[in-house]
Amino acid sequence: ILPLVSVNQILLLLLVLTVCAILYNKVHQVPLALRSETVDLESPEEMEEEIPVVICAAAGRMGATVAAISSIYSNTEANVLFYIVGLKTTIPHIRKWIENSKLKEIKFKVVEFNPMVLKGKIRQDASRPELLQPLNFVRFYLPLLTQKHEKVIYLDDDIIVQGDIQELYDTKLAPGHAAAFSDDCDLPSTHEMVRSVGMQNTYMGFLDYRKQAIRDLGISPSTCSFNPGVIVANMTEWKHQRITKQLEKWMQRNVEENLYSSTLGGGVATSPMLIVFHGKYSSINPMWHIRHLGWSPDARYSEQFLQEAKLLHWNGRYKPWDYPSVHTDLWENWFIPDPSGKFKLTRPDS
């Protein structure tokens, strides 16, 4: 039998070892965990914020989508995630185009848009049937397409980006604003172009002020309009303000009362946004939305002005993949031919 003193010494030694072990864990293991987190935080993929860009891929216009994506991807180091929205019939084509071209390196998700959500909400307009295509209304449903993001960029397909998309993404939205747009009156350099092609830049060009429902809004006809072909959107505010429901309400009212579809401004996608966002949107730097390039086959901007522009938009009938059109060289710089051969550029010598 061990002497009592020896037993006590052993117990004391065990106690000391236990205390040392606890202290060691506290001193060493917690910092190790912190260092592990620090390594994760410092990894580029973790640090770099994802920039979601929503763009549509419509039948007959996929070359536009590809050129837009190509221009964005080539001019930024940012971590861009493209949400490419199409109809069920067009999705295989755009996926194959991307995966079999130099765009195969991009991060993208293909999203199918169900046109049934528009049933009963669109009034037929024979003057501009192309404006009634279902994908024109994708911008109304941004929270349904990009559910995990706080901030989203939406772009029309008939654009190219010459600047760093990070700069557009960093656009500040005022508290309570669900979106930012470019005002149609904000860039003196475009005013001559607007006058020369007869483009409207006030609410009078989009809403039918002969209708009581429009007059009841209390919006002056001379109020400057904005173009929703480039949007920076706050999804939290969008959902909180039920923007999609508001837009659908004004689509429905137009079906019943014909409030704007036959007016000059062109269709039923812009007008509801002008109503819902009136006085409640932030401003995008005007150089991030140089537009009206598709409103005339003759009216041109100066080359110097176009070189300084961050984003070019061929809104209007005259698209750069068709003929005639203006400044097609700037667009074609970013075009990637269709590996399947289905989409072809229309040129005077083709």
The pLDDT of residue 152: 98
Is a pLDDT exceeding 90 seen at residue 56?
Answer: yes
Q: Is residue 207 part of a domain?
A: no
CATH code of the domain covering residue 124: 3.90.550.10
More confident residue, 69 or 208: 69
The pLDDT of residue 185: 82
For all residues of the chain together, what is the average pLDDT? 86
Q: Is residue 151 part of a domain?
A: yes
Average pLDDT over residues 121-143: 80
The pLDDT of residue 296: 87
Could you please report the per-residue DSSP string of 238-284?
HHHTTHHHHHHHHHHHHHHH--STTSTT-STTHHHHHHHTTT--EE-
The pLDDT of residue 43: 44
Least confident of 111-120, 135-144, 199-208, 244-253: 199-208
| CA neighbor of 194 nearest in space, from 307, 303, 287, 315 | 315
Average pLDDT over residues 223-227: 92
Tokens for 70, please give them: 């190509």
Average pLDDT over residues 100-116: 96
- Residue-range definition of the domain harbouring residue 109: 51-184+226-235+281-333
Is a pLDDT exceeding 80 seen at residue 19?
Answer: no
Q: Is residue 202 part of a domain?
A: no
The pLDDT of residue 36: 26
Is a pLDDT exceeding 70 seen at residue 198?
Answer: no
How far is 79 from 315, CA to CA, in rounded Å?
27
Q: How far is CA 309 from CA 51, 155, 162, 255, 286, in A?
A: 21, 16, 7, 38, 9
Q: Is residue 90 part of a domain?
A: yes
Tens digit of each residue's pLDDT (9 = 90 or more) over 248-293: 999 999 999 999 866 555 567 899 999 999 999 999 999 999 988 9
Q: How many domains does the chain have?
A: 1
The pLDDT of residue 133: 86
Is a pLDDT exceeding 50 seen at residue 45?
Answer: no
Q: How far is CA 161 from CA 1, 154, 230, 280, 285, in A?
A: 88, 13, 11, 26, 14
Tens digit of each residue's pLDDT (9 = 90 or more) over 139-188: 999 999 988 999 999 999 999 999 999 999 999 999 999 999 999 887 66
The pLDDT of residue 32: 27
Report yes or no: 56 and 154 within 8 Å, Cβ to Cβ: no
Q: Is residue 29 part of a domain?
A: no
More confident residue, 90 or 205: 90
Report yes or no: 232 and 168 within 8 Å, Cβ to Cβ: yes
Average pLDDT over residues 7-18: 70
Query: 139 Cβ partners below 8 Å, 6+ apart?
Result: 54, 154, 228, 231, 269, 273
More confident residue, 4 or 260: 260
**Hey, CA dihedral for 86, 88, 89, 95, is it positive or negative?**
positive
Q: Is residue 313 part of a domain?
A: yes
Q: Is residue 68 part of a domain?
A: yes
More confident residue, 127 or 95: 95
The pLDDT of residue 25: 52
Q: Is residue 199 part of a domain?
A: no
| CA 292, chain centre distance (Å) | 19
Average pLDDT over residues 43-68: 86
Is a pLDDT exceeding 80 seen at residue 34?
Answer: no
More confident residue, 262 or 138: 138
Residue 2: which pLDDT band, with cuts at 50, 70 and 90? very low
More confident residue, 206 or 284: 284
Q: How far is CA 61 from CA 8, 57, 58, 88, 156, in A?
A: 87, 7, 5, 15, 11
